[in-house]
């Protein structure tokens, strides 16, 4: 797929994702402005360059658990990591040993990469806030394990502006490390925070008008 009239934005997005200090790259714009197509192309390119990638999407009005798209993206990135190995089963066993009880927390939220279900540790039931904290900690532990492969970890969370307010979210977020958040609307002409700015961990790209997408 190629995008007509988006070469500047595509190049900016690639540079922003490539910055080692980047933690989130947020792409915003009205419906039909090409946010998903631009991010899908960026994800395809970084995967071809060797990054571990995964994607998840928040649907409008769906009833999936709050963290489901993030867990789905982590599953994709983990599958990509294990596929790089000569012995994926040994890699999955190493993941089980490295994550310990965190793997059961992730599996309880829908994580499905590489390993048989792990019996969760017994303990008092967690409240909503504590459960979210445990899941966040487990997800970050998994990301740290993935980074041991020596490749960037890039997750695309599509339409994350629809996520429940209790979930870290953003409209279209491509993250070389864990995801982050921002609102989902703009009517401004194309504006881009410089990906070269020092100490900037979150970069924003606003899209306008709608590009033409060619197959």
Q: What is the per-residue pLDDT across 147-170, written as a single tens digit (0 to 9) for each? A: 999 999 999 999 878 887 645 444
Number of domains in the chain: 1
Residue 175's closest CA among 65, 46, 28, 35?
A: 46
- pLDDT score of 23: 86
pLDDT at 7: 85
Q: How many CB atoms lie within 10 A of CB 120?
A: 12
Cβ neighbours of residue 66 under 8 Å, at least 6 residues apart? Answer: 132, 163, 164, 166, 167
Strand pairing class (153-158; 52-57): parallel
Whether residue 195 contacts residue 12, with contact meaning beta carbons closer than 8 Å, is answered with yes
Domain around 115: 2-214
Tell me the whole-structure pTM to 2 decimals: 0.78
């Amino acid at each position: 797929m190629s995008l007509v009239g988006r070469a500047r934005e595509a190049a900016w997005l690639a540079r922003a994702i490539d910055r080692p200090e980047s933690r989130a790259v947020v792409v915003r714009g009205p419906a039909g402005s090409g946010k998903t197509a631009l991010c899908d192309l960026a994800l395809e390119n970084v995967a071809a360059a060797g990054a571990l990638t995964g994607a998840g999407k928040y649907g409008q009005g769906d009833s999936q658990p709050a963290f489901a798209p993030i867990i789905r993206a982590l599953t994709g990135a983990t599958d990509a990591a294990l596929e790089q190995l000569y012995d994926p089963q040994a890699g999955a066993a190493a993941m089980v040993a490295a994550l310990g009880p965190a793997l059961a927390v992730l599996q309880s939220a829908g994580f499905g990469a590489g390993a048989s279900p792990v019996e969760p540790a017994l303990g008092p039931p967690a409240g909503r806030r504590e459960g979210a904290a445990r899941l966040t900690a487990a997800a970050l532990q998994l990301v740290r394990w993935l980074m041991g492969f020596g490749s960037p970890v890039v997750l695309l969370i599509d339409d994350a502006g629809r996520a429940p307010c209790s979930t870290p979210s953003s409209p279209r977020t491509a993250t070389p490390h864990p995801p982050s958040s921002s609102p989902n609307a703009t009517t401004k002409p194309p504006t881009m925070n410089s990906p070269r700015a020092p100490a900037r961990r979150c970069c924003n790209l606003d899209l306008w008008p709608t590009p033409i997408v060619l197959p």
